[in-house]
Amino acid sequence: MFDVMDLYQQMINDHGKNPRNFGRLADADHEAEGYNPLCGDKLHVYLKTSDEGLIEDVSFEGEGCRISMASASLMTEALKGKPLADFKPLFDAFQHMVTSDISESPDEGRLGKLAVLAGVREFPSRIKCAILCWHTLKSAVKGGDDVAKTE
Ligand code: ZN
């Protein structure tokens, strides 16, 4: 039988090992640090917005577990080229997905490929790994020097 969880696992492995949009963005207009002390994941997120309010480019660098890298890779892919105004609703949808009951199907219409991370719900310690990049980008958008933390 076709197992969708296997496919999800393959995508997480692929993005975790070969993260997309990995590296420093020289002309970023927003950036922030994020740290997940529970696992040791560290991220630096870069964001470049246009005058029209579009996310022209978004990238990250850092070190962490496969889930944290895959999540950041998928997040940057999902947001590149989108209006900055889309960030907050997508953040909320992602946060809802990873904290909702396992019986609830992820909203694939809204989350797209990000739905592959729905499986972290079964492993509470991994939820922080998956959501670190979102908190980090949120603090980049907001500005300021605070390090985004999952704790
Ligand atoms: Zn982690």
Instruction: Give the Å distance between the CA of 43 and the centre of ligand 1.
Output: 11
118 burial (CB, 10 Å; 0-12 / 13-18 / 19+) is buried
Instruction: Give the Å distance between the CA of 53 and the centre of ligand 1.
Output: 31
Q: How far is the first Cα of the chain from the last one, in angstroms, to the nearest whole number?
A: 40
Residue ranges making up the domain that contains 62: 4-149
Q: How many domains does the chain have?
A: 1
Which position has the token pair 């890779």? 73
pLDDT in tens, 2-53: 577 788 899 999 999 999 999 999 999 999 999 999 999 999 999 999 999 9
Instruction: Give the Å distance between the CA of 40 and the centre of ligand 1.
Output: 6
Arithmetic mean of pLDDT, 68-92? 97
CATH of residue 138's domain is 3.90.1010.10
Instruction: Give the Å distance between the CA of 149 and the centre of ligand 1.
Output: 12
Model pTM? 0.94
Which position has the token pair 């199907």? 105
Three-state secondary-structure class, residue 122? helix
Contact indicator for 129, 151 with CB cutoff of 8 Å: no
